[in-house]
Amino acid sequence: MTEKKMERLKEILQDSSYTVAICGSGMMEEGGYIGVKFQERAYDIEEKYGVSPEELFTGSYFNTRPEQFFRFYKNEMLRHMPQKTESWDALAAMERAGKLQCVISANIFSMGKKVGLKNFIELHGSVYQNRCSRCGKEYSMEYVRDSKGIPMCTECEGMIRPQITLFGEMVDSRLITQVTEEIERAEVLLLLGTTLNSEVFGQYIRYFNGKKLVVIHQREHYEDHHADLAIIEQPRKVLPYLGH
C-alpha cells in the first residue's frame, strides 16, 4: 500500500457525508476463519462427512437429517469461529467519529455487534440467535454448541433452529430492502474483503450511484479497475491507520 493511496482514501472518507461498508469473506479470513466453500476446506469436509458442504448446509438437510446437520454445524462453525481483528475495531471507531454510517455483512458471527456497531446489518442472520421451531423460545449459541446431538427445546421438545440463512434459502425481503436503501443512499461505498462481482453482494452493489467506490481486498481482482480506488491489502492493515 502506497502512502499516496492512503492519503487518497482519507480524502474520500473526509468528503463523504454518508459512507457504507460491505464486509466480505476476506474480513473473516483475517480472523482465522476459512469458509466451508473454499476448495481445500470443502474437500476436507466431504472426506469427513461423506457429503459436500453445499449439501450439508441447506434447509432440506436440516429438516431431513438434523443430527448430521448439527454435527457439521457445531464442529465446523461454532467451534471454529473467527477472532475479532483490528478491522472491526477500526470500523467501530469510524462510526463513533461520524465517518461511517452503515456496515453490511453476510458473515453469521456477529462481529459488528461484538465491537458495538450501531447500524450493522446481518444479511444472513447470526449464530447467536436460535429459536425453537415449534414454540419460538430463544436459545444461546452456547446452548446449541454444547448440546448433545440435536439441540431440543426445554419447554416443548421442539427442534431448535439457528436463525441463519442456509445455502439455497431466500434472504429476508426486509433485509434486502434495507441493504438496497443503504447502498442507494451512500456517497462512498467501501468493499472490504470482497470484490465487485461478489456472488453474495454483486446484486446489491449495482444499486450504488454515489460518488466513490473503494475496494480494499488482499487479492487483486480483474474488476478492480472499475473502482475509484483499489488497495490490494488486508483491511486490518489499512483501516486502523485512518486515524479514528
pLDDT in tens, 168-189: 999 999 999 999 999 999 999 9
Rounded to an integer, what distance in angstroms lies between the CA atom of residue 186 and that of residue 72? 38
Mean pLDDT of 30-51: 91
The answer to whether 140 touches 110, Cβ cutoff 8 Å, is no
- Residue 37 has a pLDDT of 86
C-alpha 193 chain-centroid distance? 10
- Angle of helix 39-49 relative to helix 66-73, nearest 10 degrees, comes to 140
Rounded to an integer, what distance in angstroms lies between the CA atom of residue 136 and that of residue 134? 6
Q: What band does 244 get if pLDDT is binned at 50, 70 and 90?
A: low
Mean pLDDT of 92-100: 97
Mean pLDDT of 33-50: 90
Domain 1-31+84-124+168-244 matching CATH 3.40.190.10: the answer reads no
- Residue 181 has a pLDDT of 98
Rounded to an integer, what distance in angstroms lies between the CA atom of residue 171 and that of residue 125? 9
pLDDT of 235 > 70? The answer is yes
Average pLDDT of the chain to the nearest whole number: 95
pLDDT of 243 > 80? The answer is no
Rounded to an integer, what distance in angstroms lies between the CA atom of residue 58 and that of residue 143? 21
- Residue 1 has a pLDDT of 58
Name the least confident of 32-36, 71-75, 180-184: 32-36
Mean pLDDT of 126-139: 98
- Residue 156 has a pLDDT of 97
In sequence order, which ranges of 84-208 are alpha helices (DSSP H)? 86-96, 111-114, 141-146, 173-185, 202-205
Residue type at 16? Answer: S
Rounded to an integer, what distance in angstroms lies between the CA atom of residue 210 and that of residue 188? 6
Mean pLDDT of 111-115: 96
pLDDT of 54 > 90? The answer is yes
**Between 36 and 188, where is the model more confident?**
188
